[in-house]
C-alpha cells in the first residue's frame, strides 16, 4: 500500500483576542469559524472536563497504514475532528477553527515491552496511563492508540480517545460504527436493535397515566433539587472523595453471555435493561458486603438503608440508526443531546435473587414514566442562559459528586462487524474525568454483553473483584430462574 502523504500541521496559539490574525489562515477563512455549543463548552469547566474512551478489540493483526488512510476519509471530513477549539481571552468563549491535520499527530502505535508478564495487564495499564494526561489543545481533541498485541480477548486493541466536547457517547459511537461494515456484507452498515425510539415519551393515553407521569416527574424534580442543595449519597467504599475527577482510572472489561440475560428477560417478562440493572444491583451488594466485612463473613458492618444512586444517561434523539455522520448538521446527530435521571440502587440481601430484577424493573418503570431526562437537559440549558457557564458547571459537578456512579447501557451491533477491514471481537466504551469514583457502561455485541468498569483505584482498588461479583450475580439469578419453574410458562 502506498504511504500516506503527510499533511502540513498547523501551529496555532490557543488564545486570541478580537482583531488578531490567526496564524495559517487567510482573513476570509475566519468567517467560517463556528462557536462551541453551550453544552460542548460546559465540558471544559472544572469537574466536567470529561474524555470518552472507545476500546475496540480486533480479531486480526492491525495494519496502522490502513487505519490512517481510512481516518483521513472519515473522521477528517467531520469538521469537529479537523478543527481546534480556540478560546477568546476577553470573554472566555470558544470557537471551532479549521486546521490542517497531520494524521501522524493523532495515530500512535504503542511500543510493546517484549518482557511483559501479561499482555492483558499491559493493555490495561496502557489505557489507564492515558487517563493521566489530557490531549494537547494545539490539535483537534481526539487520538487513536494502536496496541498490536494478542490478549485473551483479541489479537489487537485500538483505543480511541475523544474529548466530550466533540459530542456525546451516541454521536461518537455512531461515528465509529459508521466506519464499520457487516462481516457478512462488506457494503452494509451494521444494525442496532430498536433503531427507532421515542425519547422521553411515556404512555399518556389515560388520565391516570398522565397523572403518573406528572407525579413521577415532580418527585424526580424534588430529588434533583435536593441533590443540588444537600442530598448526598452514603459514604461507602464505592463513593469517591473530592478531587476524584483529577485522578487516573483503571478500565476493566468483563464479557458475559447475552443469551443468559435474554433467558432471564423472557422468563421474568422484563426488559434486557431491567435484567442488567438488577444484576448490577446484586453485584453491588456482594462487593460492599465483602468490603465491609473485611474477612469476617459471619458479621458485616454494612449500614442499613444505604443511599447509593447512579446518574443514568438517556439519549434524547429520535433515532439510533447508524448513518453517515461526517456531516455534523444532519438530523441533529451531533452535539451533546443527553439527559439523565438519578437512579437509586437498593443495597441489601434478598431471599429470592430474582427480587433484584423485580426491584430494578419497578424503579425503571417509574423513570420511563417521567420527564426527568428531558427536565435535566433543559434545566442545564436554562442555567447556562440565565447564569452563565461557571454556575452551570458548579451545579453539574454538585449533582454528579453527590451521587456514587455514572451508569449507561446501550445496544450494540447484532451481527459480526469489521472496522476498516479488521474483524471486531468486542466494543468497550467508557469515560474518565467525571467527579465519581465509578462508571459502569454496558454494551451488547452479537452474543455477548460487556460490562466496562472505569474506576478510581484509590477508592476501588480491586475493580476485578467487582467484575467477578457482577458475573457471579448473573449466574445466581439465572440459576434461580431455571430452578423456580417459571421458565415452563414460556
The CATH number of 207-409+437-489 is 3.30.559.30
- Residue 318 — pLDDT band, cuts 50, 70, 90? low
In this structure, are residues 407 and 311 in contact, taking their beta carbons and an 8 Å threshold?
Answer: yes
Q: What is the pLDDT of residues 67-80, one digit of tens each?
A: 999 999 999 888 88
Residue 196 in this model has a pLDDT that exceeds 60: no
15-182 matches 207-409+437-489 in fold: yes
Residue 272 in this model has a pLDDT that exceeds 90: yes
pLDDT in the model for residue 411? 85
- 342 strand-pairing partners: 311
Give me the active site residues, please. 164
The CATH number of 15-182 is 3.30.559.10
pLDDT in the model for residue 295? 61
Range in 2-16, 52-66, 186-200, 271-285 with the lowest mean pLDDT: 2-16
User: How many whole angstroms separate alpha carbon 349 and alpha carbon 297?
Assistant: 14
The secondary element (H helix, E strand) that includes residue 397 is: helix 389-402
The dihedral through the CA atoms of 416, 422, 425, 431 has a sign that is negative
User: Which of 117, 173, 120 is closest to 147 using CA atoms?
Assistant: 120
**Of residues 171 and 232, more confidently modeled:** 232
pLDDT in the model for residue 191? 82
- The neighbour count for residue 226, using CB atoms within 10 Å, is 13
In terms of DSSP H, where are the helices of 319-388? Answer: 354-368, 372-387
**% pLDDT > 90, the chain:** 60
- Residue 60 — pLDDT band, cuts 50, 70, 90? very high
User: How many whole angstroms separate alpha carbon 394 and alpha carbon 390?
Assistant: 6
- 109 strand-pairing partners: 146
User: Which of 423, 419, 410 is closest to 451 using CA atoms?
Assistant: 410
- Residue 110 — pLDDT band, cuts 50, 70, 90? very high
- 51 strand-pairing partners: 163, 432
DSSP label at residue 57:
E
DSSP label at residue 58:
E
Q: Hunting for cell 451481527 — which residue is that? A: 415
In this structure, are residues 438 and 238 in contact, taking their beta carbons and an 8 Å threshold?
Answer: yes
- 449 strand-pairing partners: 256, 444
Average pLDDT over residues 362-368: 92
- 312 strand-pairing partners: 341, 407
pTM for the structure as a whole? 0.86
Average pLDDT over residues 121-136: 95
Q: Which residues contact 136 (CB under 8 A, 6 or more apart)?
A: none
In this structure, are residues 337 and 316 in contact, taking their beta carbons and an 8 Å threshold?
Answer: yes
The dihedral through the CA atoms of 238, 239, 242, 245 has a sign that is positive
Range in 78-92, 193-207, 259-273, 361-375 with the lowest mean pLDDT: 193-207
Record the cell numbers describing residue 85, joined without a space.
477549539
User: How many whole angstroms separate alpha carbon 369 and alpha carbon 133?
Assistant: 41
pLDDT in the model for residue 487? 63
User: How many whole angstroms separate alpha carbon 415 and alpha carbon 254?
Assistant: 20
Residue 296 in this model has a pLDDT that exceeds 70: no
Average of per-residue pLDDT values in the chain: 85
Q: What is the pLDDT of residues 230-270, one digit of tens each?
A: 999 999 999 999 999 999 999 999 999 999 999 999 999 99
Average pLDDT over residues 284-312: 85
Residue 199 in this model has a pLDDT that exceeds 50: no
For 283-293, b/e burial (b = at least 16 CB within 10 A) is bbbbbbbbbee
User: Which of 471, 450, 461 is closest to 128 using CA atoms?
Assistant: 461
Residue 100 in this model has a pLDDT that exceeds 50: yes
Q: Hunting for cell 497504514 — which residue is that? A: 65
User: Which of 435, 411, 389, 259 is closest to 321 using CA atoms?
Assistant: 411
Residue 348: strand, helix, or coil: coil
pLDDT in the model for residue 27? 41
Torsions phi, psi for 18 (to 5 deg) = -60, 135
In this structure, are residues 148 and 113 in contact, taking their beta carbons and an 8 Å threshold?
Answer: no
User: How many whole angstroms separate alpha carbon 201 and alpha carbon 422?
Assistant: 38
Q: What is the pLDDT of residues 10-53, one digit of tens each?
A: 333 333 433 333 444 444 444 346 888 888 888 888 888 999 99
In this structure, are residues 438 and 239 in contact, taking their beta carbons and an 8 Å threshold?
Answer: no
Average pLDDT over residues 172-192: 88
The secondary element (H helix, E strand) that includes residue 225 is: helix 207-229
The most confident of 19-33, 51-65, 88-102, 109-123, by mean pLDDT: 51-65
Per DSSP (E only), the strands in 249-305 are 249-257
Based on DSSP, count helices (H) and strands (E) in the chain, helices before strands: 11, 17
pLDDT in the model for residue 206? 60
pLDDT in the model for residue 477? 97
Using alpha carbons only, give the angle 219, 338, 328 rounded to the nearest 5 degrees: 160
In this structure, are residues 125 and 72 in contact, taking their beta carbons and an 8 Å threshold?
Answer: no
pLDDT in the model for residue 385? 87
User: Which of 83, 81, 79, 91 is closest to 16 using CA atoms?
Assistant: 91
Domain boundaries, the chain: 15-182, 207-409+437-489
Amino acid at each position: 500500500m502506498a504511504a500516506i502523504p503527510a499533511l502540513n500541521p498547523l501551529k496555532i496559539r490557543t488564545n486570541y483576542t478580537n482583531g488578531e490574525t490567526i496564524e495559517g489562515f487567510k482573513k476570509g477563512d475566519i468567517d467560517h469559524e463556528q462557536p462551541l455549543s453551550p453544552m460542548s463548552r460546559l465540558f471544559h469547566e472544572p469537574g466536567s472536563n470529561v474524555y470518552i474512551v472507545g476500546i475496540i478489540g480486533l480479531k486480526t493483526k492491525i495494519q496502522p497504514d490502513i487505519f490512517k488512510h481510512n481516518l483521513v476519509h472519515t473522521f477528517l471530513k467531520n469538521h469537529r475532528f479537523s478543527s481546534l477549539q480556540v478560546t477568546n481571552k476577553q470573554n472566555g468563549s470558544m470557537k471551532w477553527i479549521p486546521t490542517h491535520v497531520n494524521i501522524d499527530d493523532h495515530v500512535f502505535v504503542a511500543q510493546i515491552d517484549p518482557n511483559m508478564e501479561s499482555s492483558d495487564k499491559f493493555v490495561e495499564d496502557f489505557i489507564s496511563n492515558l487517563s493521566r494526561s489530557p490531549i494537547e489543545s494545539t490539535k483537534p481533541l481526539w487520538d487513536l492508540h494502536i496496541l498490536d498485541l494478542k490478549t485473551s480477548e483479541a489479537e489487537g486493541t485500538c483505543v480511541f480517545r475523544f474529548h466530550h466536547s466533540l459530542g456525546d457517547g451516541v454521536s461518537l459511537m455512531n461515528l465509529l460504527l459508521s466506519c464499520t461494515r457487516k462481516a457478512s456484507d462488506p457494503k452494509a452498515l451494521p444494525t442496532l436493535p430498536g433503531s427507532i425510539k421515542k425519547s422521553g415519551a411515556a404512555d399518556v393515553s389515560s388520565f391516570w397515566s398522565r397523572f403518573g407521569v406528572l407525579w413521577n416527574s415532580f418527585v424526580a424534580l424534588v430529588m434533583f433539587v435536593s441533590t443540588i442543595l444537600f442530598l448526598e449519597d452514603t459514604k461507602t467504599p464505592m463513593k469517591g472523595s473530592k478531587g476524584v475527577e483529577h485522578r487516573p482510572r483503571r478500565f476493566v472489561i468483563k464479557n458475559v453471555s447475552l443469551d443468559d440475560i435474554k433467558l432471564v428477560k423472557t422468563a421474568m417478562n422484563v426488559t434486557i435493561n431491567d435484567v442488567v440493572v438488577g444484576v448490577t444491583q446484586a453485584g453491588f451488594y456482594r462487593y460492599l458486603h465483602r468490603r465491609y466485612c473485611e474477612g469476617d463473613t459471619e458479621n458485616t458492618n454494612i449500614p442499613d438503608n444505604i443511599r447509593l444512586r447512579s446518574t443514568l444517561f438517556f439519549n434524547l434523539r429520535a433515532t439510533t440508526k447508524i448513518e453517515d455522520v461526517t456531516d455534523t448538521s444532519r438530523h441533529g446527530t451531533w452535539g451533546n443531546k443527553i439527559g439523565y435521571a438519578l437512579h437509586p440502587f437498593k443495597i441489601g440481601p434478598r431471599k429470592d435473587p430474582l427480587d433484584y430484577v423485580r426491584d430494578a424493573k419497578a424503579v425503571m418503570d417509574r423513570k420511563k414514566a417521567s420527564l426527568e431526562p428531558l427536565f435535566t437537559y433543559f434545566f442545564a440549558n436554562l442555567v447556562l442562559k440565565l447564569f452563565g457557564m461557571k454556575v452551570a458547571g458548579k451545579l453539574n459537578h454538585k449533582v454528579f459528586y453527590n451521587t456514587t456512579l455514572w451508569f449507561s447501557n446501550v445496544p450494540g451491533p447484532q451481527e459480526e462487524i469489521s472496522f476498516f477491514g479488521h474483524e471486531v471481537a468486542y466494543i468497550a466504551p467508557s469515560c474518565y474525568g467525571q467527579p465519581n469514583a465509578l462508571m459502569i457502561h454496558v454494551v451488547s455485541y452479537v452474543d455477548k454483553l460487556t460490562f466496562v468498569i472505569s474506576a478510581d483505584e484509590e477508592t476501588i482498588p480491586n475493580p476485578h473483584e467487582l467484575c467477578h461479583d457482577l458475573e457471579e450475580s448473573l449466574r445466581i439469578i439465572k440459576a434461580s430462574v431455571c430452578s423456580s419453574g417459571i421458565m415452563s410458562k414460556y
